[in-house]
Amino acid sequence: MADPPPATVDLIRAKRDGRTLTGDEVRWLIDAYTRGEVADEQMSALLMAIFFRGLAPAELREWTAAMIASGERLDLSTVGRPTVDKHSTGGVGDKVSLILAPLVAACGAAVPQLSGRGLGHTGGTLDKLEAIPGWRATLSPAEMIELLRTVGAVICAAGAGLAPADRKLYALRDVTGTVESIPLIASSIMSKKIAEGTSALVLDVKVGSGAFMTELGSARELAETMVMIGSEAGVRTSALLTAMDAPLGRAVGNALEVEESLAVLRGGGPADLVEVTLALAREMLALAGIDADPAAALADGRALEVYRAMIAGQGGDPDAELPAAAVTDVVRAPATGWLRRLDARAVGVAAWRLGAGRARKEDPVSAAAGILCRAKPGERVEAGQPLLELRADRASVLPGAHAALSDAVEIGSERPAAGPLIIDRVS
């Protein structure tokens, strides 16, 4: 006779008091919550206990596996190329995926990139691509695999069948103050990526004022935790810790970031964006076992060709004009000197207030709203010159954006030392 299922309140007490839950307990809990047999208020209490007590490595392994088992797993074995994906923990101006997926595909890999939407000051890849007329984020598994076979890259929303437990848990964490828990973040990201079926995964863990992890120590812990989960699940996994104190590139906002991505795919674009993209591309190709030079695929136009095919394959018009803002305003340099700081979080919040982001998942976003950084840290500026160009659909949102930027800029007499964009590698 099978043992009766544990009482949820007993598991809450156990975790509250620091006991490690067994594999059977974790599997029952996730399955019962996914099926609606455990109430939200009970799971909220358990999440708060995990927030304070953490999860032991064995618990975290079982927790992630149970979230994967709550839904389907994609089978990419018929794609015909080595599969490798990238996940970023989110930043300001981080449009790397738009360039990276077609770039790595142009070098011979298949890139099944399941992406998300922006929330708060960080942008979302799907929101950016939806600035392109006709482009659609929702694909069936069959459509996704066909694009991987024919084009080599796809960027789309995760289907409802992948790790449904995570979808419920994430929504609950969002409203219970338990988002900032390293084991819960790691299991959330990795359950979806493992269920996606990729053979290799590179994690871009952002560090700095505009990142989810502002401190290097916590960013490294998150990277090590996710690499451990992926490796134990049989997915070749590594992570790069990359800087996010200033916006990446010069464009922040949906259509603006598409335009800047195209500039890189055409062989130009900002040097910092190119550097981070190429570092991640080399890491992805190494994990996929492909000996190729991604810089050459950018320079000769192969990556741009794959990008155009990827956009068209998802219903978008790669030649369409992107939405333009109705209102433009500027933030000017208050003094002459070196731009020493341009705070990424402040720029991200300002772009959000202009309409480029959302406070809740169901909020609409403006395709045209955003900010162009006319100067970046390390550059010389003259008093009165435009530092930031604000774009919006209506003038009423400008005061809120200006307020967000009130302490974003620091100008000094000495040129700031340039820190590394690629801080470290975790494998």
pLDDT tens column, 255-280: 999 999 999 999 999 999 999 999 99
Kindly state whether residues 372 and 264 are assigned to the same domain.
Answer: no
pLDDT of residue 3: 61
Give 307-349 pLDDT, tens digit per residue: 999 999 999 999 999 999 999 999 999 999 999 999 999 999 9
Question: Domain holding 233: CATH number?
Answer: 3.40.1030.10
Which of 117, 128, 168, 173 is labelled catalytic? 173
Kindly state whether residues 335 and 304 are assigned to the same domain.
Answer: no
pLDDT of residue 121: 79
pLDDT of residue 160: 84
User: Quick check: is 320 in a domain?
Assistant: no
Kindly state whether residues 37 and 183 are assigned to the same domain.
Answer: no
Kindly state whether residues 332 and 307 are assigned to the same domain.
Answer: no
Amino acid at 104: V
Most confident of 167-181, 267-281, 356-370: 267-281
Which of 53, 87, 128, 193 is labelled catalytic? 87
User: Quick check: is 421 in a domain?
Assistant: no
Kindly state whether residues 92 and 17 are assigned to the same domain.
Answer: no
Which of 313, 339, 355 is the C-terminal boundary of a domain? 313
393 is catalytic: no
pLDDT of residue 175: 85
Which of 256, 285, 313 is the C-terminal boundary of a domain? 313
pLDDT of residue 123: 80
Give 104-150 pLDDT, tens digit per residue: 999 999 999 999 887 677 888 999 999 999 999 999 999 999 999 99
Section 216-233 average pLDDT:
97
Token reading at 113? 């990139």
User: Quick check: is 112 in a domain?
Assistant: yes
Token reading at 306? 């794959």
User: Quick check: is 402 in a domain?
Assistant: yes
121 is catalytic: no
Q: How many domains in the chain? A: 3
Kindly state whether residues 91 and 161 are assigned to the same domain.
Answer: yes
Q: What share of the chain is helix, strand, coil (3-state, %, to 5)?
A: 45, 15, 40
3-state secondary structure of 402: helix
Q: Is-contact 177 171, C-beta < 8 A?
A: no
Kindly state whether residues 46 and 164 are assigned to the same domain.
Answer: no
User: Quick check: is 41 in a domain?
Assistant: yes
Which of 85, 94, 127, 166 is labelled catalytic? 166
pLDDT classification of 2: cutoffs 50, 70, 90:
low
Which of 167, 168, 192, 193 is labelled catalytic? 192
User: Quick check: is 60 in a domain?
Assistant: no
Section 37-44 average pLDDT:
95
- Pairing verdict, β 422-426 and 236-243: antiparallel
Q: What gap in Å lies between CA 241 and CA 226, rounded to an integer?
A: 13
DSSP, residue by residue, 28-66: HHHHHHHTT-S-HHHHHHHHHHHHHH---HHHHHHHHHH
Give 83-99 pLDDT, tens digit per residue: 999 999 999 999 999 99
Kindly state whether residues 108 and 139 are assigned to the same domain.
Answer: yes
pLDDT of residue 183: 96
Residue 314 CB coordination number (10 Å): 22
192 is catalytic: yes
User: Quick check: is 21 in a domain?
Assistant: yes
User: Quick check: is 427 in a domain?
Assistant: no
Question: Domain holding 401: CATH number?
Answer: 3.90.1170.30
341 is catalytic: no
173 is catalytic: yes
pLDDT of residue 4: 66
pLDDT of residue 159: 85
Which of 70, 188, 209, 261 is labelled catalytic? 188
Kindly state whether residues 187 and 232 are assigned to the same domain.
Answer: yes
Domain range for 333 is 327-412
Kindly state whether residues 299 and 223 are assigned to the same domain.
Answer: yes
Kindly state whether residues 360 and 390 are assigned to the same domain.
Answer: yes
pLDDT classification of 1: cutoffs 50, 70, 90:
very low
Q: What gap in Å lies between CA 242 and CA 226, rounded to an integer?
A: 16
